Structures are given as C-alpha cells and as structure tokens.
Structure 1
C-alpha cells in the first residue's frame, strides 16, 4: 500500500509530466489518482467495478489508480487535495469532503430530500440540480462529472431505539449536515476516520452509526458490533458524486472524457440495484441485527422539523434557496403523483 508519506514525497516529482498529453502509440498512459470516501470492503461495490472497467476499456491510453478512504489524504481534505492537483479525482459527497461551495450542505444526507434512490438522478437530470452543481464547482476549479444515489440513512446502534427519547445523548458517527439536524433530538454527532468506526463502537466511544443503510452495515462489519437497526430513516438516499480537477479533466481527449462519464454512470446503476435489493434482503433474512421502529406519528415530528431545517438553509443564500425550492417542487409532484412515487 502506498503510504501517505511516500505519496506526498513523490507528488512533486510526478507532477504535470505524468499527466500531460493524451497517450499515443509508444507513449506511457495518462495516469490519474482517484480517492474514494469508502473503505476497501465497501469500495468493492461502490467504485472498484467501474474503475476496473474503465482501465480495461481504455486499453493503455489511460489508467486510474484507486485509493480508499483516508489512504492518501483524510476524507475532509479530499476537496483541497483535488483542487490543488495533489490527487486528480474524487468519489465522495460534497459534505464529507468539505467543499467550499453553496451546494455542500445538500451532499450526503440532506434530511428527507429523497425517499427513494431514483429521486437523486431525477433531481439532477430532470429538475436542474446538475446545472447548479456544474456552475458551483466550475467556480472553484473542479469538474462535477455526475451525481448518483447510494443507500438510505438509518441508525445502527448498540441499544434499541424505540422512540425519539432513546436518541438523547447517543454518540453517533454521521455526516456533518445530518449531525447538525439530528442534534436537536439530543444526538451527539461524532467525527472520526472511517476505518476507526468499528473499534470506536466496540470501545464505547460511539453508541451508534447514522451513516448508511443495512447493506453497508453488513458489508463493512458494522453489523458485527451493533445489535439494533432502526427502520425509520432521515433520508431515502445518499447523494454522492464523481469530481475531477478541472485542469486534469480539460487535458483529456474527448473519448476519455466520455469513457469516464459512461463508466461512472455504470457505477451509479450498479449501486441502484445493489443497495435496493440488499436493504430488503437483509432486513428479512439478516441474522446479525434486530429491527426496531419509531411509530409513524412520532416520526412525523422529525419530518416536520426537516422542513423547518430546509427553510433555515434556504435563508442562507440565493443558491441554497434555489435548491430548496427544487426539492420542494419535486417532492410536491411526487406526493401528488401518488403510488408508486409516494405512499401516504
């Protein structure tokens, strides 16, 4: 494994020379470093198949080196490292990588912005979020390649959660914006490196996790250290994206830019069915976690507070207000459309 120290030492030497012109016959391939937010076990599903496919189809013209969570730089420094060209591309949500844009707060799990994973690509491709993200990231030298959906956000805990009161005082690993929202219910948000989470639950540093659905809990080992899974969620799908340093992106020939888009879209598609099937199968057939549910009438309080939270965010800037209005318009349309788009 390339250590962070070796990577930093060699970064200057590699520099632009390694990533300059498109590959031609007899010339070394273009090489990119892409770091994902995901650890190795999760990355096997959420990114590695797409990278393997890209490298195979690129056939020596370009090669992407894949690095996992915190392997080269901490997740919270991903944006800065990509912006400066230390790494070339990133798979993450806006919130986790601390991007300095007006849309950062909507990455990851913006409370109740989505109910199902298909909501995310529809919002980006049909309701205008893609254009907003493109404009915001272009301002800071980053190419926003595409956004897609991951799993819903549920609590996985050591003790059962049967009511909102049970959340009080729970130290939970979660996303920045999700933590900001959940704090009003007594949750204590905790930020730790991704790979430290399992041990932190075992040692009692954490009481639980609100970072994923049940598929990830099983895949990455969290189901081995948490006994309970809350079926209520604060968002139906994580919103994450692929990003690249704008200069590195512009240096690529058109065929490689298109190949990146297509293989990243295949990654989005893979996650659609992998998570959707896994969430149901593991609730029904999983043996490691017991399910609890907060009653609908009590959970409605959380949903109501989410709409208040939306308005607080909208008041912060014109861009945020525009995104919030899109979310409101979209969800109103889904509710009016009824089944299967929304169930009441």
Structure 2
C-alpha cells in the first residue's frame, strides 16, 4: 500500500510530465495542465467529456492537458500546486484539496446541507454562495470558476450496516469534514490515495467507503469489493468546483474564459442526470451489493447531530456563520415549500 503507483496513461493523461516545471504558454497556443480529484474510470464521466469539448472548440488557440487523481501531486496538495502555478487548473472539492480558506469545510459533503443535487446550484446561484467563494479564493490568488453538484454520500461496506451501533469501529475512506462529523458515531476516518481504495478494502485495511453514491461504487470498482450499500445518506450531493491559478486565468482571452465556463457548466449538467438516473437504476437493478437501511427513527439522531455540527462550524468565524445562516435559510424555505422540495 505504500508503493507508489505507476501513472495512468489513458484518456489523454500524461503522467510522466515534469512536475517542477510550470505550464509553457507559447504565442500560438495557450496550454494548461489540469488535475482532477477523480481516478481514470470516474474521470471518463465527471471531467473528460468537458475537456474534450473545450479542446475541440478552442483548437489551436488553447489546449488543456488532463491528469487524474494523484498523478502530478497528491490530492491533498492540489491547492498549493495550483496556487504556485505548478499546475494551472483543478477540479475538486475544497475539503479534499486542503484549501486554506474559510469555505473549505463546506466543500465535499457538509452534513445534510443538501438533500438533492439541484440544491447545490440554487445555493450558489440564487442564495449567494457563488460570491462568497469567489471572494475567498481571490484572496489567495485562485480563480473560482464554477460550482456544481455530484452524487449523494452513502456507506458501501464489507459488513452490513443496519443500525448506528454497526458503525462503531468501521475504518472508512471519506472526506475530512464528513469524517469529522461521523467520528461521533464511532466511524474511524482513513485517508489513502484514491486509486488504492479498492485494494485497501480487499486487504482489510478499510471496512468500507463513505465517499460517493452507488453510481460511483459501480463505476470505479468499489461495488466489486463491498458487499452492502446503506440507503441512508449524510448528504444529498457533493459540492465540487473548477478552479484556476489567477494569473493563468487572467492570461486567457475573455472569449476563451467564457468557453471554459460553458464547458464546465455542461459538465455540471451531465453529472446532474448521470448520477440521478444511476443512483435509482443501480439500487433497483444492480446485482453487486445488498441494500440495507437504518430505521428513520434511529437515523433521526444523525440528522439532529448535523444541526449541532452546523452551529459548531458557525462559531468558528464570521464567514462560516454567514454560510451556515444561508444553508439554514435555504433548507427552511425548502421545508416550508413542501413536496417535491422536501418530504416530511
């Protein structure tokens, strides 16, 4: 597990590129290097189509070279590498890339902040989170380009989870903030390189993952090594983003900046329907994992704990309190709106 993996070479990624040298921008073609949080199999859905579209349309004016999880730098070092200009752009959540900003804790899976994937773009585009993220990243020399929703967060495990007691002692690969929240229920968060997770479950180093929904479990191979899927989730959608080094972004002509936004928005839209359809289809027709459920009355303890967790985070800074206030305001509006926005 401690041996460095060979770099992946599929889907246009070039894992042997020199890390220390920044991207070269010739007069004829602007060239960016972008690294995603996703491994090769997942990247084929969450990023490759968007980059292929951009490169096809931009042509000789600009090309983006895509790298997968941990190929150039470990995911936890993505922010620093982008800030330094070692790489030009990143697709990740704030939490995974160890962003040193006030908004980091809300990236990835902030417990129960969203129930459905559409909650994320509404929070950013109608409730003001977009402006907060732009301000926070501008302070540290990074351009926040756009935010989008990914899949919900569920447990996939080797042993069945039918009660909160079954979570005790489970070594789980998850996001930093999700792990911080789940630790109160006995979960032991474990951090490993993304591509090592399948083997870690096989060898017993991990008891499971709480990193995705069932679509990703099947797509990346975790459904082949996990026997059970817990239908309860701690978040309805992962919050992920596209970022760029601010100097590199400012070097790009306005029309190509707009093209980047359009292709990234198309990528967000792709995930909306790919995950939404996949989560339902694989629960019904999937054959690799047995579904389990913690009863609603017991799971309510987790939801109540999330409210206390929100208040804990809000107490840490004015910016965090502002964001928690927006999340509370939004969820209150959704609850009052009733079906189909929220079911009681």
TM-score norm. by structure 1 comes to 0.95
Distance 2:167 2:146 in 1: 35
Following the alignment from structure 2 to structure 1, what is the Cα–Cα distance between the partners of residues 238 and 50? 19
Q: Is 1:19–2:25 an aligned residue pair? A: yes
Contact 2:15-2:67 at 8 Å conserved across structures? no
Q: Name the residue aligned to 1:310.
A: 310
Q: Give the Cα–Cα distance (whole angstroms) in 1 for the partners of residues 252 and 55 of structure 2.
A: 15
Partner of 1:159: 159
In 1: Cα distance, 2:53 partner to 2:236 partner:
28
| Residue 204 of structure 2 is aligned to residue 204 of structure 1 | yes
Residue deviations 1:162-193, cap 9 Å, x none? 00000000000000000000000000000000
The CA distance in 2 between the partners of 1:244 and 1:340, in whole Å, is: 36
**Cα distance in 2 for residues equivalent to 1:258 and 1:336:** 37
Distance in 2 (CA, whole Å) between partners of 1:3 and 1:33 is 11
Write the deviation string for residues 46-92 of structure 1: whole angstroms up to 9, x where unpaired: 00000000000102110000000000000000000000000000000
CA distance in 2, matches of 1:328, 1:254: 36
Deviation of residue 306 (structure 1)? 0.3
Query: Which residue does 2:343 correspond to in 1?
Result: 343
2:18 maps to which of 7, 30, 38 = 7
Show structure 2 runs of 5+ residues with no match: 1-8
How is 1:52-71 mapped onto 2 (pairs within 5 angstroms)? 52-71=52-71
Q: Are residues 3 and 45 of structure 1, via their aligned partners in 2, closer, same or farther at CA, if it must alter by over 3 Å?
A: closer
| Alignment map for 1:185-264 (pairs within 5 Å) | 185-264=185-264
C-alpha RMSD of the superposition: 0.9
Correspondences of 1:22-41 after superposition (within 5 Å): 27=28, 29-41=29-41
Q: Which residue of 1 aligns with 2:141?
A: 141
Say if 1:223 and 1:288, in contact at 8 Å, map to a contact too: yes
How far apart are residue 19 of structure 1 and its match? 2.3
Q: Secondary structure at the match of 1:8?
A: coil
Q: Aligned pair 1:48/2:48, yes or no?
A: yes
Cα distance in structure 1, aligned partners of 2:160 and 2:18: 43
Instruction: Give the SS at the match of 1:60.
Output: helix
Deviation at 1:250? 0.4
Q: How many residues align?
A: 332
For residues 288 and 177 of structure 1, the distance between their equivalents in structure 2, rounded to whole angstroms, comes to 28
Equivalent position SS for 1:249? helix
Unaligned runs of 5+ in 1: 22-26
Quote the Cα distance in structure 2 between the aligned partners of 1:158 and 1:190. Answer: 15
> What residue number does 1:121 align with?
121
Please state whether the residue corresponding to 1:51 is helix, strand or coil: helix
* Structure 1 segments of 4+ aligned residues over 6 angstroms from their partners: none
SS where residue 277 of structure 2 aligns?
helix
Secondary structure of the residue aligned to 2:223 is helix
Contact conserved, 1:35 with 1:91, CA < 8 A, in 2? yes
Does the 8 Å contact 1:19/1:248 carry over to 2?
no
- Is the contact made by 2:164 and 2:298 (CA closer than 8 Å) also made in structure 1? yes
Aligned counterparts of 1:141 and 1:177: Cα–Cα separation in 2: 24
Question: Paired residue for 2:267?
Answer: 267
Question: 1: distance between equivalents of 2:153 and 2:264?
Answer: 22
Scaled by the length of structure 2, the TM-score of the pair is: 0.95
